[in-house]
Amino acid sequence: MPEIPKAYDPQSVETKWYSFWEENECFTADPGRVCDARQAYSIVIPPPNVTGVLHMGHVLNNTIQDILARKARMDGKEVLWLPGTDHAGIATQNVVERALRKEGVMKHRDDLGREKLLKHIWEWKEKHGGIIIEQLKKLGASCDWSRLRFTMDKEYTQCVQRVFVDLYKKGLIYRGKRMVNWCPKSLTALSDEEVIMKEQHSRLYYFKVQVVEEPDTWLEIATTRPETIPGDSGFAVNPKDPRYGQLVGKHAIRPLPVENQAHLPIVADEHIDIEFGTGVLKVTPAHDKADFDIGQRHGLEVIDVLEADGRMNNLAGADLAGKDRFEARKEAAAKLEELGALVKVEDYKNNVGFSERADVPVEPRLSEQWFLKYPSQPTARACVADGTLKFHPVRWSKTYDHWMGELQDWCISRQLWWGHRIPVWYRGEEVYCGLETPEGDGWKQDPDVLDTWCSSWLWPFATMGWPKETETLKKFYPTTDLVTGPDIIFFWVARMIMAGYEYRGDLPFRNVYFTGIIRDKKGRKMSKSLGNSPDPLELIGRYGADALRFGTMRSAPLGLDVLFDEKDVELGRNFCNKLWNACRFREMQGGAMEGEIRPELLTSDDRWILLRLGQAITEVTAAFEAYRFSDATASLYRFFWSEYCDWYIESCKATFFGDNETRKANVLAVVDFVMGNTLRLFHPFLPFITEELWHGLGYSGDMPEEQGGKTIMTANWPKVFDNSFNELYGLDDTVDRLVAAKHDLVTQGRNLRAAYNIPFSKKIDYTYNPAGVQDSHEVEVLKVLLNAESVSVGLDVPKGTPRVGSALGDLYLPLEGLIDFDAERERLARELQKVEKEIGKVESKLSNPSFAERAPAEVLEEQRRRLADWQAKRGQINEALEKLSA
RNA sequence: GCGCGCUUAACUCAGUGGUAGAGUGCUACCUUCACACGGUAGAAGUCGUUGGUUCAAAUCCAACAGUGCGCACCA
């Protein structure tokens, strides 16, 4: 017996084959090989954060991409899976700044200055930037690593600048003083997409202000932010509000700051909701977007009372100056109370925008920023609506369309140092936008950098050598599939589509597969603080990469979130082990590999497993076309475990342990044919173990070099069987029915054993009465499947011997005079009950006249046949019961 | 408020009009010569609720309930 370990050990196998693939350049894409017969297939990786580490989201996402890439190679395509990393502006700068503070290198970035901090970040990137790439390799990712890109590579940076200059010249990028979302923690502007609305338990403060012209009249106002009162520059009411109409044009006294109780105009504005609060709004143009607009309409002053970091400034008055905005809120309320202006305070639920990254409330803030008017919006919107670019699942198209319909200009400048610096220089009133530093003295470059997404939206073509018309770009753009999460549909996907049309005149990808979000088994999002996020590398260490991949894909249905449970990975490992052992069993039988199958020697089980293989090929291929990966794994699992291992291998033992050498050779040929195809079907999901077994079983031996000879990666994807194949091997429904009847009989026979408490280890004798003429081999198979000492053919059994039956024949379990008549009667009575119930159901259906009248003929026929089957069964049971009591 | 999902066995999910399924878990038995990361057998579901369409509904339609997500937002 060959020395094959009983359990599959993934570690050494995975290392060995990954090196082999890399050394043999199996992942390298060559545009020169692309032609009509060998079409291009391409994916660009959603670039992970360069300082990041692999998490379960990456595992899901990249496993899917790898599966697609490997399947495409087996389909004979020239595959480019283009990898890279993202500089992730805020996140990376935060990480490095925190580390530098911890090391005592600096307290604040100003201590170092721009150049020195950037040097540190680059050092950090050089040191840690490769980690996630190495981790992807552990997962088995078949990226073309020779094309690894980074969003801050020199060439990539030039692309970003070129696009900026172009859009600036087209008038689509402009600079302006606007209300933006300001993050007081990161000290930068954010785009609307980076603000997350969260429901808060706040307070609604009611306070009153005195009308200057009518000192007896007080207006009551409700606000959630009393600390901004010093920034108020007016009061607004709805012009249709009868309560306040006569006050419009008059003034009221702003209570805070106490040292500057200004008289503010009362204005009328349609925007005011009569129903809400008291119907009077305090207008704070510097700290609220809607208020800013009202202020603009009525010429109200803009009074900024906040510092960039969220502390109050001197304009807020002596009582509040220097205090943080939340502390100032309490302080302002206290002041109002002191003044006797506070009427009441109510608990109040409202939504507040939070910075996605820093998780603090954003501050609407007036500042000078760069904005982008999206290009190619109509085409980008239409291509998804008309299905030129397909979303999977399709329902995301609606979300996309909705967002594309209400595009707001994109705030693209960030007050950070890590990123692409805005290619604009100033000298006095002069502004220069260009790729190179302008000639002459005194130019100062804009200090801001661009939003990271403002570089990654160029990813699909900027990674392929654009703006040069490279061969790669010509052959691999547009890409075929994009795999990403729906959480970045606006951030990234939508913007790439617009950039694609604007700069390539074509869509960037033909299909977008949206993964679900990985959650823990309780349905909670994975997060560091919850500690519910497993380390994929540790899982790979314990179970193997194939196990992790298979387990993840099996539990990730299209369009639904994935509830991750380590049990799934365990299941993956068990599956690999089963595969390993099935091949080990094959090895133990010896014999030549890949012999020709002789149709005339096929057993019914051989034909059946070929049929089931054909079915599996059909199902898995169809699942791929529909991007239904969990369906594919389910089909593979069922076919391999429940059909091939549970039934076929077991039935083969009748041949392998027998002495018909000719038949044995033929069964081995069938086994090799089935396993050769099975390994190929499994390869995209389980790249490592399939490669190991492909070589171990010698299947690579007589394949052409480029079609599986060197590696299973390039073996042909199994073809769905055609008619001539089915005819040659006699694969038709009768085989399926016969073997189903066999399995049914065997299950019932085993059940008899269990019903009479006979342990499986005890060999017993069955008597079999076939329903027609059958190959004697079938009896041998029954013997093996029933784990019987013997199966004798005939009818010679004592009265009352327990019997079961199927279309194949009847099976008796003689109990050597120890028949327990009562037990058998009870068992049959239970059976009878079940059968009667089914008969009742079918009869009531058939006896319904409108059913007979309106149901299609084949349905009617089927029900009649079912009734006959059940009735026959009832007859048999009754007969047996009669014999028992006779 | 608007939009999009989801609700089927204890759990995770398949199931687009005609016999309710899988995996895990559970129960019992079994270290049998590929595999205990295994085998055999078994128990387990008024398919969220109500109504409608139909000979026939888990499946189609409507309403409701629960749950999750996205967008918008009244200070």
Whether residues A550 and A691 share a domain: the answer is yes
Task: Give the whole-angstrom CA distance, residue A43 versus residue A138.
Answer: 19
Whether residues A712 and A824 share a domain: the answer is no
> pLDDT band for position A837 (50/70/90)?
confident
Task: Give the whole-angstrom CA distance, residue A577 versus residue A640.
Answer: 12
Domain boundary among A671, A700, A731: A731
Q: What are phi and psi for residue A722, nearest 5 degrees?
A: -100, 175
Residue A209 and residue A280 in contact, taking contact as beta carbons nearer than 8 Å: no
Q: Work out the angle at residue A152's Cα, subtended by the Cα atoms of residues A472 and A450, and round it to the nearest 5 degrees.
A: 115
Residue A593 and residue A698 in contact, taking contact as beta carbons nearer than 8 Å: yes
Q: Is residue A801 part of a domain?
A: no
Name the H helices within A26-145: 56-74, 89-102, 109-112, 114-128, 131-139
Whether the predicted pLDDT of A71 surpasses 80: yes
Whether residues A662 and A544 share a domain: the answer is yes
Q: Can you give the C-alpha Rg of chain A in angstroms?
A: 37
| pLDDT for position A2 | 45
Residue A247 and residue A268 in contact, taking contact as beta carbons nearer than 8 Å: no
Whether residues A689 and A827 share a domain: the answer is no
CATH code for position A581 = 1.10.730.10
Within A 706-745, residues with CB less than 7 Å from strand B: none
CATH code for position A845 = 1.10.287.380
Q: Is residue A253 part of a domain?
A: yes
As a rounded value in angstroms, the CA-to-C1' distance for A862 and B17 is: 16
Number of domains in chain A: 3
As a rounded value in angstroms, the CA-to-C1' distance for A290 and B69 is: 27
Whether the predicted pLDDT of A104 surpasses 90: no
> pLDDT band for position A1 (50/70/90)?
very low
Whether the predicted pLDDT of A3 surpasses 70: no
Counts of helices then strands in chain A (DSSP H, E): 29, 29
Whether residues A724 and A834 share a domain: the answer is no
Within A 259-318, residues with CB less than 7 Å from strand B: 271-282, 288, 290
Q: What are phi and psi for residue A385, nearest 5 degrees?
A: -60, -40
Residue A182 and residue A308 in contact, taking contact as beta carbons nearer than 8 Å: yes
Question: Strand B closer than 7 Å to the CB of A555?
Answer: yes
Whether residues A826 and A727 share a domain: the answer is no
Question: Strand B closer than 7 Å to the CB of A379?
Answer: no
Mean local confidence (pLDDT), A397-416: 92
Nearest to A123 by CA among A53, A186, A50: A50
Burial class of residue A670, CB neighbours in 10 A (0-12, 13-18, 19+): buried
Task: Give the whole-angstrom CA distance, residue A826 versus residue A585.
Answer: 41
Chain B positions with a protein C-beta closer than 7 Å: 3-6, 11-14, 18-19, 22-24, 28-42, 54-56, 70-75
| pLDDT for position A817 | 55
Within A 498-527, residues with CB less than 7 Å from strand B: 521, 523
Q: Which residue is nearest to nucleotide B28 (CA to C1')?
A: A754
Q: Is residue A590 part of a domain?
A: yes
Task: Give the whole-angstrom CA distance, residue A675 versus residue A670.
Answer: 8
Quickly count: other Cβ atoms within 10 Å of residue A1's Cβ.
7
Q: What is the pLDDT of residues A843-884, one digit of tens each?
A: 888 888 888 888 888 889 888 988 888 888 888 888 888 877
| pLDDT for position A842 | 87
Q: Work out the angle at residue A528's Cα, subtended by the Cα atoms of residues A526 and A529, and round it to the nearest 5 degrees.
A: 105
Whether residues A717 and A835 share a domain: the answer is no
Residue A807 and residue A832 in contact, taking contact as beta carbons nearer than 8 Å: no
Q: Check residues A527 and A671 and name the one with the higher pLDDT.
A: A671
CATH code for position A250 = 3.90.740.10
Where do we find the tokens 């939508």?
Answer: A494
Question: Strand B closer than 7 Å to the CB of A855?
Answer: yes
Whether the predicted pLDDT of A485 surpasses 70: yes
Q: What are phi and psi for residue A341, nearest 5 degrees?
A: -95, -15
Residue A86 and residue A452 in contact, taking contact as beta carbons nearer than 8 Å: yes
Whether residues A831 and A726 share a domain: the answer is no
Q: Is residue A236 part of a domain?
A: yes
What is A678-714 written as a DSSP string? HHHHHTTT-HHHHHHHHHHTTTTTTS-GGGTTS-GGG
Q: Is residue A16 part of a domain?
A: no
Domain boundary among A694, A714, A731: A731
Whether the predicted pLDDT of A580 surpasses 90: yes
Residue A285 and residue A300 in contact, taking contact as beta carbons nearer than 8 Å: yes
> pLDDT band for position A391 (50/70/90)?
very high
Whether the predicted pLDDT of A886 surpasses 70: no
Task: Give the whole-angstrom CA distance, residue A347 versus residue A8.
Answer: 62
Q: Which two tokens stand for residue A758?
A: 């006979």
Task: Give the whole-angstrom CA distance, residue A222 versus residue A346.
Answer: 10
Whether residues A200 and A321 share a domain: the answer is yes
Q: What is the ipTM of this complex?
A: 0.95
Q: Is residue A510 part of a domain?
A: no
Q: Check residues A671 and A89 and name the one with the higher pLDDT.
A: A671
Question: Strand B closer than 7 Å to the CB of A413?
Answer: no
Q: What are phi and psi for residue A338, nearest 5 degrees?
A: -55, -40
Element containing residue A776 per DSSP (H, E): helix A776-785
| pLDDT for position A350 | 86
Whether the predicted pLDDT of A246 surpasses 60: yes
As a rounded value in angstroms, the CA-to-C1' distance for A643 and B21 is: 16
| pLDDT for position A819 | 62
Tell me the pLDDT of chain A averaged across its residues: 91
Task: Give the whole-angstrom CA distance, residue A146 versus residue A153.
Answer: 14
Mean local confidence (pLDDT), A150-179: 95
Domain that holds residue A860: 820-886
Q: Is residue A74 part of a domain?
A: no
| pLDDT for position A175 | 93
Give just the sign of the alpha carbon dihedral A585, A589, A595, A596.
negative
Residue A226 and residue A205 in contact, taking contact as beta carbons nearer than 8 Å: yes
Q: Is residue A650 part of a domain?
A: yes
Domain boundary among A731, A763, A786: A731
Task: Give the whole-angstrom CA distance, residue A732 versus residue A440.
Answer: 84
- Widest Cα–Cα separation across chain A: 118
